[in-house]
Chain A
Amino acid sequence: AQSVTQLGSHVSVSEGALVLLRCNYSSSVPPYLFWYVQYPNQGLQLLLKYTSAATLVKGINGFEAEFKKSETSFHLTKPSAHMSDAAEYFCAVSDQRSHSGGGADGLTFGKGTHLIIQP
């Protein structure tokens, strides 16, 4: 079974500071990894995804994430936080086995990290 752990249910950074949101995954087969963002009272929007091409993935709004197989991590970063980045961030995992009929389809999500931006 696959799983995702997001360290820190709440992360607070100052405007202009580095944003680092941590995600570790567990999967017995090569994973596909996603970061989604949820603004208040809205649905989820894809920030970026790793699909086994480049290990450094660039997404929207200046975010990027690096896949590190040795650390089973896919941490999300942004060099300079903006007030508009305040939101809930979810890391999610999918793998090829789940889409070959061997188990539940869909994504397995972490519990989320609430990003707070201090002025």
Chain B
Amino acid sequence: NAGVTQTPKFRVLKTGQSMTLLCAQDMNHEYMYWYRQDPGMGLRLIHYSVGEGTTAKGEVPDGYNVSRLKKQNFLLGLESAAPSQTSVYFCASSYGTSGGQETQYFGPGTRLLVL
């Protein structure tokens, strides 16, 4: 099993450009998450999905959109990138809720630089 994979690994954007980050998991997990990691800030939840066709906002959703058309994929979109979105983005997945005690499995991350 590949686990959780993310594409691309690194990207440089200019302000105002758009892009989509792809997350894929082969563990048949129901829940998927997008986090961003900034120095000294830990990880913060952007959006999450509790199943195919469903998405919800997390702590820092502004400037991002997501889609979950297939159970194994979770896409994160930036419609008009801003320098404040320079970050490392992590995708995670878990089987589904058991009251919040389930382990989340993380991808290797995507480094995004917005100039």
| Residues B58 and A99 in contact, CB atoms below 8 Å apart | no
A9 to B39, CA, bound (A): 11
Bound together, the chains give a CA A116 to CA B97 distance in angstroms of 35
Contacts of A106 in B (CB 8 A): 33, 35, 45, 48, 58, 104
Are A42 and B108 CB-contacts (below 8 A) given A32-B100, A94-B101, A105-B48? yes
Give Cα A102–Cα B44 distance, bound, in whole angstroms: 18
Name which residue of chain B comes closest to A94, CB basis. B100
Looking at chain A, what size class is its interface with the partner chain? 20 to 34
B40 touching A105, Cβ below 8 Å: no
Interface string of A42-73 (1 = CB under 8 A from B): 11111001011000000000000000000000
Contact of A105 among B31, B42, B108, B109 (CB under 8 A): B31
Interface residues of B in 27-45 (CB under 8 A from A): 31, 33, 35, 40-45
CB within 8 Å of B: which of A12-67?
32, 34, 36, 41-46, 49, 51-52
Asked if residues A32 and B42 are in contact (CB atoms below 8 Å), the reply is no
Q: In this assembly, does B20 line the interface, its C-beta being within 8 Å of a C-beta of chain A? A: no
Number of B interface residues at 8 Å Cβ cutoff, please give it: 29
Contact residues of A between 94 and 111, Cβ < 8 Å to B: 94-96, 98-99, 104-111
Given A43-B4, A99-B97, CB of A9 within 8 Å of CB of B40: yes
Please indicate the chain A residues that have their CB under 8 angstroms from the CB of B33 in the complex. 105-106
Please, how many angstroms separate the alpha-carbon atoms of A9 and B42 in the complex? 11
Q: Are A46 and B42 in contact (CB under 8 A)?
A: no
Give residues in B with beta carbon < 8 Å to A: 4, 31, 33, 35, 40-45, 48, 50, 56-59, 90, 92, 97, 99-101, 103-109
What is A's interface to B at a CB cutoff of 8 Å?
4, 9, 32, 34, 36, 41-46, 49, 51-52, 90, 92, 94-96, 98-99, 104-112
| Extra inter-chain contacts (16) besides given A51-B101, A104-B58, CB under 8 Å | A41-B109, A42-B108, A43-B90, A44-B90, A92-B43, A94-B100, A99-B97, A104-B59, A105-B33, A105-B48, A105-B50, A105-B56, A106-B45, A107-B45, A107-B104, A109-B42
